[in-house]
Amino acid sequence: MFNRSADAIRSSTSILYLLFSLQFLHLCYTLCLDDKYRPQLHYSPSKHWMNDPNGLIYLDGEYHLFYQYNPNATVSGQVYWGHAISTDLVHWTELPIALSPNDIIDVEPVSLFSGCAVLDAKNSSGLQTGSITPMILFFTQATTKKQQQSIAVSNDRGRTFEMYSKNPVIPNDDEKVPDFRDPKIFNWKDKWIMMVAAGDKIQFLESDNLLNWNSISEFGARPLQGSHGGVWECPDLLPFTVNGQRVYVLLVSINPGGPNQGSATQYFVGSFNGKQFLKSVLYQPLWLDWGPDNYAGVSWFNEPNNRSLLIAWMSNWDYGKFLPTSAWRGQMTLPRVLNVQRLDGRLRLQSQPAAEVDSLRISSQFFETTQPLSIRTGHDFTNDLGFRNSLLEVDVLIDTQLMFSDSLAYLRLCLFNDLAEEVCVGYSFGSNEIHLDRSMSGDTSFYSEFAAVATANRESKNRYLQMKVYLDVSSIEVFVDGGFTTMTGLFFPTEAFTRVKVEFNSAKGINQLTLLSATIRGLKSIYDC
């Protein structure tokens, strides 16, 4: 045996701790200061390119976030699976690359496209090698000619993965469907159910053992089901209970074909019987998020609180590779909890920030109106706040009754800086629409359409308009009316936005509105640098 003295062990441990501390401080410095656009509320890799979230799964106190990653450049290329973990959905630890295309033997260069993760608690696959429940990653093994579904297995809580020797588990022999990707799996009684995006439809398959799969149905045939402006991707199926009734929501990302520009995620409300998804009779697309920068969102498997918990890539394939960041490119949205509620007689998806995000609030940076205010256009709250921060959570509730008599009336909640750069969330009374305007937000030169104003249909018709906004140094997430309408957008200002104002105009001369409440909170960085 090899023995070491207690002093030697303590000395070795101290050295390792010092090295880890120095590495952590260096990582913190890199993440906070490598360029002014580094997000401070949202996860981003320390360097290089990131896009879609993959393999979201919870195990033994850890939320795993895998994602599409290129460790060799700040643009998309040959795709690996990056990996990060969190115990609170807010602070993330970046781990080594989980899956590498170098571990796949193929006659052509391979990329590892999106997929999912499951826990095989009953060892139905027979791939468990010890006492720990195996974590199995499903991914798309992609070449220029063919996309097939393969797996990798971890028997050490997701720290290392081994490629399955008999990959692919779902081959693709149909050359007419080159786009066959993004497997997502869930349990249904004693079966495993998989969804795979196949061109412009979703295929459903079933299995007893996660290794052998049979096709059972499909959804999305043209032209009646959803938007078909581009390839369908990243499906997910989520169950909800509404007034005692079981309801299912099918998420399908599409690129291009979003409601404003480029990529976005549509959803369908319907039912699932173990074999087939049947949507309600509604043909126009419904959108998870109307903003230009929310894509490929999927949910966590084994979420401990039984929430439909989702995270998405905060970017757009139209311009993602051109964003003016330096060492890194790509970030995730805040984690969101999804629910289905009946709104004006219609079933609609509701999206709200996970409660864990509240832990970032700074108690000393707090402003709140104590009673309704009649405010005039251009009201600037900054002088009332007593603090300046580029990380903000803003809540306002506005009584719009006076404005409904003027179809041209318009109000805006703006975050801005001393250079008159701004990003604004607007509401048009006549059309009942929400707008996200980043036309004056700073650098928009890298893509000709980046400055376009994004428009969303406001799902609610309530006279009381509620807006919740999360401001990061280079992004905004907007939740209207409790999250029935949401918008997400990037921006790149010369200086950080630290000021807040409300402004409006009316063709009928109405020059003030009633602000029922306003709360503005400063938030702290997830890196605590």
Residues assigned a catalytic role: 52
Q: Are 347 and 280 in contact (CB under 8 A)?
A: yes
Task: Put the strands of the sheet holding 111-119 in their side by side order.
Answer: 111-119, 135-142, 147-154, 162-163
Cα–Cα distance, 74 to 164 (Å, whole number):
30
3-class DSSP state of 503: strand
Residue 223: cis peptide before it, omega within 30 degrees of 0: yes
In 261-387, the DSSP E strands lie at 264-272, 277-279, 286-287, 295-299, 308-313, 328-329, 336-343, 346-353, 361-368, 373-376, 379-380
User: Taking the CA of residue 186 as centre, how many other CA atoms within 13 Å lie in the half-sphere pointing to its CB?
Assistant: 20
- Close Cβ partners of 37 (under 8 Å, ≥ 6 residues apart): 324, 325, 473, 474, 492
**Do 327 and 29 contact (CB within 8 A), yes or no?**
no
DSSP annotation of 32: H
- Among 49, 103, 14, 24, which residue's Cα sits nearest to residue 327? 49
Burial of 310 (0-12, 13-18, 19+ CB in 10 A): buried
Kindly give, in sequence order, each residue whose CB lies less than 8 Å from that of residue 313, ignoring residues fewer than 6 positions away. 50, 51, 52, 53, 67, 294, 295, 296, 297, 330, 332, 333
Q: What dihedral do alpha carbons 345, 349, 354, 355 form, nearest 10°?
A: 10
- Whether the CB-CB separation of 151 and 54 falls below 8 Å is answered with no
Query: For residues 118 and 153, what is the distance between their CA atoms, to the nearest angstrom?
Result: 10
Residue type at position 295: Y
